[in-house]
Structure formats: C-alpha cells, structure tokens
C-alpha cells in the first residue's frame, strides 16, 4: 500500500488497529532475540548460505591444505595455516609436509626454513624430506643453496635421490650441462639410484642446449629405468635434433613419435622437413607430409619445396621432377624459389646438367613445365645459353608450352652474357605465344638494354611498365641512374625524381656511387681550370 493511499484512509477515519489473526493457520510465531552464537550456528547450518567452519582440528587442516595445494593457492594456504595455528590447531607430519611442499615450490626460502624449524620444535615430520624442501626453495640461488647445504651438515643428514634431484634441477636452471652430467655420474658412483625426474632433467637439459646426439644416447641408456622415456622427453630430443638439423636423431625420434601418435606442431614439422631437405632424406620428408595431411593441416609451399629438395639432394632427380606435381595435387601456388634446392643440384657442373636433361627427356608426356624451367635455369646459372636455348627449342617434343617464367629465366641468362639481340628475339617469341610479359620481363629487358652502347630502349620499356600500372623495381631505377651518370645524361635527375615518387629511398650503394662520381667531376673541373690558367 502506497504512502498516498494510507494518508487518504487516515483522513476518512477508516484506519484501525491491525492485530495478528489467531484463526489463520499461517500465523507467524513471535521471534525472540538470539545470541551471537545462535545466529552464527544458524548461518553455518543454513542450506542456502554455506560459510566455512573454522579449522579446529588437524584432520580438517590437512584436508583444506590439500584442497588449496591442488589449486596452487599460495595466499589461501598461508592464511589457512596462520588461522589454524591461532585457533590452537597442532599440525602433524602431513600438515608440515604439505605446507613445505607448496612453499618450497614457490621459492620462498626464508618461510620454508621457518616452517621447517617449527616442525623440528614440534618433533614431527621427516627431517631429511624437510631439508630437501629447503634446498628446493633455494630456487638455484647459489648463496641460498650454500645455506641449505650447511643445514644438511648441521642436522647430520646426507644427500638422497631427492636431494640430487633438486641439485640437478638447479643446474638445469643455470644451463650447466657439464656439471649436471658429473652430478648424475656421482650418484651412480655412490650407489644412489637416480629417480626418473633426475634422469629426465639431464636429458632435457642436453636437448635444450643443442646437444641432441648426447641427449638421445642418454635416452637409450635410460631405457632400463621404466618411466624415463616419456613422450615429453622424446619430443624434446626430436625438437633439439630438428633445430640443429641432426639427421640421425631426427629420424629415430620421428619414428618413435609416429608410433606413439604424439602430435608434433606444424613449426616442428617444418624444421624436420628442412632437415630432410638438407640431408637428402625423402622418406622422412614424405612421412612428415603424410602426417600433415592426416592431421588436416593445410599443405603450404615450403612443405612441398622441402620434399622436392630432399629428392634432389638424395640424387633422385626423376622423383624430384615428378614431385613437382604435388603443387597441383594440393592446389599450392608454385614459386620460383620452390625448386632452389633442385637447381643447386643440377647446376653443379655440365655433367649434372646433362644427367638432368636425360632424365627430363624420359619423363611421361606432357612434361611439367616447372621441371623444364628448372633445367633451363640450371643451364643459365652455368652461363650455358646454348644448352638453355636448346632445351627451349625441345619444348614441342616434351609436349609442353612455355610460360612467362620460361622466358624470364631465359632473359636472365641473356642478361648474364649481355646478349641484347637474343633477348629481343625471345621477347618477340613471348608475344607471338600470346604470353603476357611480367614485371620481371620488362625489368630484365631494361637491364639488358643498359648493357648496350645505345640504351634508349630502356626508357621506352620503363614507360611500358608505367602504362601497365606496374611499379618499376628500385634496382631498375638505380641502374638507369648509374648509366645516365656515366654518360653525363641529364635524365639521371629525372630517374631520381621518379624513384622518389615511387616511394624508394636512395640506397647506400647508389649514394656512394653518386658521391664518388661527383668527386671525380670536381677533380676534372679543377684540372681543366688549372690547364686553362697555365695556357693563359
């Protein structure tokens, strides 16, 4: 009922005393004041509001410590411990062990020592285990470790396998492989069998520090200790081997990982593929490619390039050529760099080029144009333009048509021998085959023109590039500027202005060249002035 309604009722004299009805079954009992303890008890017993009861016995303390230990709740643990002590709870061995375990894991040395000393005063708990917790809390700090070792002496405790475990973990933090191996050997000499964690620590440390062969040898020796060679340890060895391109380690570790179905990441697979390409291991490369497909990962250019490279380095040129079809199979865009490994193998000598050509002619028809382009590029790298043109003329027999990359490679070969006439003929062939010139085509035609005595065609090609809404590369502009400066051509300044419009900055090499040319010009001007003064 609103305040306005109440006022109206009062004005009309309709108000009456309201008394509790005794006839209704819903009559509420009279509530009397409760003591603080009664209120607190009702709150604790409420099914709606659950407040934690104070910790008044050691069993409750241990249960709550374990709960917070599982949650890694360091603040809650310290608060619970302090409150329980204030409430008169006397911790037992389990309480101290749980408390020391979590405090030590956070590297709280002073607090760990304090709790350990309190445990000794209470005459409960394991002194040896407590000292191990103190050592763990030193967190690889040499000064704190020295204090912990001194405490071992003061309490007359020797080192056990847990002590050595913490020592090895500290050495791993400091990345001291040599000392870690020495400590592990010392354990065997003293008749102390290292636990699983200690051996794993040394293996993973060696792997982390780029010693995959040593890590793998340790893992093999540790096979007599059950539980050491976990998937995590094997993966650490594999990652180390792939990072250092250790073929022996990578092959063995990869076989194990594939058997256990432990999923390696895509970046790790790339490193393994690079290892396969470096050492010529096509079976390893194909296995990694199969895994990428099985795990539904997108196949990319660098994956396939490594597969082709592995065949090439292994000397399996035919398989390398055939592997080029993988780009079409996986719908991956082919890049000229994709066959760099194959080109490096073919262009080693004329003999390797001849062998590659023989393999190429025996491939099923039609031959992949990328295989042909690769062979032509190898020939141009050897400056064997006669062989390159010969391969180009054999395209009809190979039942394949040239593409823009074919002509760009051939123009690059013409540029290497400054053969402008051949370059122009190839350009006309390109147009007659209705192949659209690329930016690289025009760039190489310009650079080729600049090698000739007359270089006017370079400027016309430059205008063609602009007419096709392409941006000329910086190297083309710089070559134009240098040639114009050499010839005293004023168009050098126009070329520099064009560079600026395109957003290019003058490179260090061009700047040094221009400064050197200016000094030469100044010297020439001074010499001419001196000659004129002497003559007069």
Residues 333-377 have pLDDT tens digits of 999 999 999 999 999 999 999 999 999 999 999 999 999 999 999
CA 341/CA 338 separation, integer angstroms = 8
Task: Point out the least confidently predicted range of 46-60, 243-257, 292-306.
Answer: 46-60
Domain end, chosen from 374, 401, 428, is at: 401
The stretches of 106-176 forming alpha helices (DSSP H) are 109-121, 127-137, 142-154, 161-173
Answer whether residue 394 is part of any domain. yes
Answer whether residue 186 is part of any domain. no
Host domain of residue 89: 43-158
- CATH number of the domain encompassing residue 124: 1.25.40.10
Domain end, chosen from 345, 376, 401, is at: 401
Domain end, chosen from 140, 158, 176, is at: 158
Spatial neighbors of 413 by CB under 8 A, at least 6 apart, are: 376, 379, 380, 383, 385, 388
Task: Point out the least confidently predicted range of 347-361, 388-402, 505-519, 521-535.
Answer: 521-535
Answer whether residue 154 is part of any domain. yes
Q: Is the pTM of this model over 0.85?
A: no
CB 440 within 8 A of CB 408: yes
461-479 pLDDT per residue, tens: 999 999 999 999 999 999 9
323-341 pLDDT per residue, tens: 999 999 999 999 999 999 9
Answer whether residue 349 is part of any domain. yes
- 245 — pLDDT class (breaks 50, 70, 90): very high
Answer whether residue 80 is part of any domain. yes
> Rounded mean pLDDT of 40-53?
56
Answer whether residue 361 is part of any domain. yes
The answer for 14, left when phi > 0, alpha when psi is -120 to 50, beta otherwise, is alpha
Q: How many domains does the chain have?
A: 2
CB 508 within 8 A of CB 515: no
> Rounded mean pLDDT of 90-115?
93
CB 374 within 8 A of CB 336: no
- 278 — pLDDT class (breaks 50, 70, 90): very high
Answer whether residue 315 is part of any domain. yes
478-490 pLDDT per residue, tens: 999 999 998 888 9
Six-digit token string for 78: 């310290």
CA 198/CA 190 separation, integer angstroms = 15
pLDDT at 15 over 70: no
CA 144/CA 111 separation, integer angstroms = 13
Answer whether residue 416 is part of any domain. no
CA 393/CA 422 separation, integer angstroms = 14
pLDDT at 149 over 70: yes
């Amino acid at each position: 009922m609103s305040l306005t309604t109440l006022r109206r009722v009062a004005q009309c004299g309709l108000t009456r005393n309201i008394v509790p009805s005794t006839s209704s079954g819903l009559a509420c009992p009279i509530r009397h004041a409760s003591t603080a303890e009664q209120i607190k008890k009702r709150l604790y017993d409420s099914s709606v509001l659950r407040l934690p009861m104070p910790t008044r016995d050691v069993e409750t303390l241990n249960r709550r410590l374990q709960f917070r230990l599982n949650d890694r709740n360091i603040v809650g643990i310290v608060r619970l411990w302090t409150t329980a002590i204030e409430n008169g709870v006397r911790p037992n061995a389990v309480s101290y062990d749980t408390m020391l375990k979590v405090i030590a894991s956070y590297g709280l040395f002073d607090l760990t020592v304090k709790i350990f000393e309190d445990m000794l005063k209470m005459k409960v708990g394991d002194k040896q285990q407590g000292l191990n917790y103190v050592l763990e809390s030193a967190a690889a700090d040499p000064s704190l470790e020295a204090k912990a070792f001194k405490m071992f002496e003061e309490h007359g405790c020797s080192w056990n396998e847990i002590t050595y475990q913490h020592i090895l973990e500290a050495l791993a933090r400091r990345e001291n492989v040599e000392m870690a191996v020495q400590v592990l050997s010392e354990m065997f000499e003293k008749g102390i069998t290292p636990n699983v964690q200690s051996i794993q620590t040394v293996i993973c440390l060696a792997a982390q520090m780029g010693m995959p062969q040593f890590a793998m040898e340790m893992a093999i020796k540790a096979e007599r200790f059950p539980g050491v060679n976990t998937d995590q340890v094997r993966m650490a060895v594999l990652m180390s081997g792939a990072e250092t391109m250790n073929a022996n380690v990578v092959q063995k570790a990869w076989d194990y990982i594939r058997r256990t179905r432990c999923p390696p990441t895509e970046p790790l697979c790339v490193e393994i593929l690079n290892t396969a390409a470096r050492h010529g291991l096509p079976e390893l490369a194909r296995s990694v490619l199969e895994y990428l497909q099985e795990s539904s990962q997108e196949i990319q250019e660098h994956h396939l390039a490594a597969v082709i490279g592995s065949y090439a380095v292994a000397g399996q040129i035919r398989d390398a050529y055939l592997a080029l079809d993988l780009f079409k199979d996986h719908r991956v865009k082919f890049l000229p760099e994709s066959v760099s490994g194959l080109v490096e193998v073919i262009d080693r000598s004329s003999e390797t080029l001849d062998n590659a050509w023989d393999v190429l002619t025996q491939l099923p028809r039609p031959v992949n144009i990328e295989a042909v382009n690769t062979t032509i590029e190898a020939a141009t790298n050897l400056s064997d333009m006669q062989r390159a043109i010969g391969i180009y003329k054999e395209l009809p027999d190979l039942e394949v048509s040239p593409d823009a990359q074919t002509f760009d490679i051939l123009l690059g070969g013409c540029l290497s021998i400054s053969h402008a006439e051949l370059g122009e003929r190839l350009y006309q062939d390109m147009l007659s085959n209705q192949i659209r010139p690329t930016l690289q085509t025009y760039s190489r035609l310009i650079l080729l023109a600049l090698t000739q005595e007359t270089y006017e065609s370079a400027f016309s090609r430059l205008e063609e590039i602009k007419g096709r809404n392409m941006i000329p590369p910086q190297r083309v502009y710089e070559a134009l500027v240098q040639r114009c400066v050499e010839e005293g051509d004023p168009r050098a300044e126009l070329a520099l202005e064009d560079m600026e419009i395109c957003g290019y900055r003058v490179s260090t090499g061009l700047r040094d060249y221009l400064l050197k040319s200016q000094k030469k010009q100044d010297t020439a001007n001074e010499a001419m002035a001196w000659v004129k003064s002497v003559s007069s």
